[in-house]
């Protein structure tokens, strides 16, 4: 199998990590670094482990953290060749004394700090973002979530009020709503499904005209004609039910982000509170249009925990707390 060459930009971006790996070369031995690990190659007698290849694949975004990588796959073989090249380059860099350059030493130290910080955050998050905590937050959000009403409905959209009145008379005489929708509706999004908006939805996703017409409508009732964007609508309500809560699996990613942000934020607040941090930069100019704080402004209230996907050293802006309501659908024509 032909070896895959590494692109120059990738090599340049990995120089620091290459040297870090090479700095530990003399310390390597034949003992697997992880349980069940296996050597998949050797470079000048030093083993390359399957876990090394998987870690490189993760760092390049080729697989997700914890995702398996079959050692017989083409992707594994491709990344293995890149790890071999990495080790060769790093060893050669040490032979040439590049690792002793002061600039390189600073970059190695910075990379070491970043790796250590990442590992600390990973350990803290692993302990705090547990299945029990996910389930607990989900149940709390279920209790706090307000439930509205969902409806299932169909429509026939006509170009004018007289045309809509004609269709309503036909319906009153016993004509099929589905057939008339397919035959006369001008709404291409619903006409071929008999006017069906497409599943249950809450009224808040509809334009005000639909909301007003359907708010008090009961199952089986035909309302309209209603003036809406694109014409005049005749709507039949098929069903009504309480809004269904979002399933825990659908809410899980947002809950995990929320808990993760909280863990990182709390850790950083604790560390900053116990350290002497001095920002030596001069205070920057105020942003254009930024509100100015009054001279006697009251102290800000404590922030409510509302997290998102954090970085290892800066959690960034907090996301909204996870909710137990399903994502909004947008049935029917666009809002006017």
Q: Write down the residue that tokens 């005489």 correspond to.
A: 173
Per-residue pLDDT of the chain (336 residues; tens, 9 = 90+): 444 444 444 444 444 454 455 444 445 567 888 888 999 999 998 999 999 999 999 989 999 878 899 999 999 999 999 999 999 999 999 999 999 999 999 999 999 999 899 889 988 888 888 898 888 888 888 777 767 788 899 999 999 999 999 999 999 999 999 999 999 999 888 989 899 998 888 888 888 888 888 888 889 899 989 888 889 999 999 888 877 778 888 888 888 889 889 999 999 999 999 999 888 888 877 666 655 554 444 444 444 443 333 444 445 555 555 554 444 444 444 443
Answer for the pair 259, 134: CB distance below 8 angstroms, yes or no.
yes
pLDDT for 317 equals 53
Tell me the β-bridge partners of 49: 39
User: Residue 291: helix, strand or coil by DSSP?
Assistant: coil
Domains observed in the chain: 8-100 (no CATH), 105-147+245-270+306-336 (no CATH), 149-242 (3.10.50.40)
Count Cβ atoms within 10 A of the Cβ of residue 255 and give its class: 0-12 exposed, 13-18 middle, 19 or more buried: buried
Distance separating alpha carbons of residues 273 and 301, to the nearest angstrom = 18
Closest to 154 measured CA to CA, from 224, 216, 204: 224
Helices first, then strands: H and E counts in the chain: 10, 6
Distance separating alpha carbons of residues 148 and 146, to the nearest angstrom = 7
pLDDT for 295 equals 45
């Amino acid at each position: 199998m032909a070896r895959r060459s590494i692109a120059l930009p990738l090599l340049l971006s990995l120089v620091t990590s290459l040297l870090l790996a090479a700095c530990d070369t003399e310390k390597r031995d034949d003992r697997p670094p992880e349980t069940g690990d296996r050597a998949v190659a050797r470079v000048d007698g030093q083993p390359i482990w399957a876990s090394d290849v998987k870690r490189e694949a993760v760092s390049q975004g080729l697989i997700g953290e914890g995702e398996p990588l079959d050692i017989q796959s083409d992707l594994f073989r491709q990344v293995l060749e890149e790890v071999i090249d990495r080790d060769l380059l790093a060893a050669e860099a040490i032979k040439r004394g590049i690792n002793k350059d002061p600039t390189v030493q600073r970059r190695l130290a910075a990379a070491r700090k970043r790796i250590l910080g990442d590992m600390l955050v990973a350990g803290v998050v692993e302990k705090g973002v547990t299945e029990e905590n996910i389930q607990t937050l989900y149940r709390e959000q279920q209790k706090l979530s307000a439930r509205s009403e969902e409806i299932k409905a169909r429509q026939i959209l006509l170009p004018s009020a007289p045309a809509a009145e004609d269709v309503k008379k036909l319906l009153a005489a016993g004509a099929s709503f589905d057939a008339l929708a397919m035959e006369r509706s001008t709404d291409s999004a619903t006409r071929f499904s008999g006017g069906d908006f497409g599943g249950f939805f809450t009224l808040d996703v509809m334009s005000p005209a639909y909301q007003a017409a359907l708010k008090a409508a009961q199952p089986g009732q035909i309302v309209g004609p209603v003036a809406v964007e694109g014409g005049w609508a005749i709507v039949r309500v098929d069903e009504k039910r309480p809004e269904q809560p979002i399933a825990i699996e659908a809410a899980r990613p947002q809950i995990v982000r929320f808990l993760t942000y909280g863990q990182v934020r709390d850790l950083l607040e604790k560390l900053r509170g116990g350290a002497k941090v001095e920002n030596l930069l001069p205070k920057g100019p105020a942003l254009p249009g930024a509100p100015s704080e009054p001279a006697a402004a009251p102290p800000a209230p404590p922030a409510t925990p509302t997290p998102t996907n954090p970085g290892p050293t800066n959690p960034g802006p907090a996301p909204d707390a996870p909710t137990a309501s399903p994502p909004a659908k947008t049935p029917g024509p666009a809002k006017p």
